[in-house]
Amino acid sequence: METNETTYSSAIRELEEIVTEIESGEVDVDVLTVKVKRASELIKFCKDNLKGTRKTVNKVLDDIKATEDEA
């Protein structure tokens, strides 16, 4: 599970590391299960982060447009 220190950038780096390890073909099956589960958690974290960022950006843009329309 993510910690409070998890950022989008750190999640992407960790995902890249997991992919590299899996692609090496040297990951034990038991470890592979854990890595795939962690990758799934990180992907969800990143998707949620991007959705939140998109909402925030759209709100800011809407606020700017509303301010321009008032002027």
Q: What is the pLDDT of residues 29-40, one digit of tens each?
A: 999 999 999 999
Q: Read off the pTM.
A: 0.80
- Mean pLDDT, the chain, as a whole number? 92
- Report d(CA 71, CA 69) in Å as an integer: 5
Q: What angle, rounded to 10 degrees, do the helices at 29-70 and 8-24 form? A: 150
Q: What is the pLDDT of residues 5-26, one digit of tens each?
A: 899 999 999 999 999 999 999 9
63 falls in which pLDDT band (50, 70, 90)? very high
- Tokens 């592979």 correspond to what residue? 32
pLDDT for res 3: 53
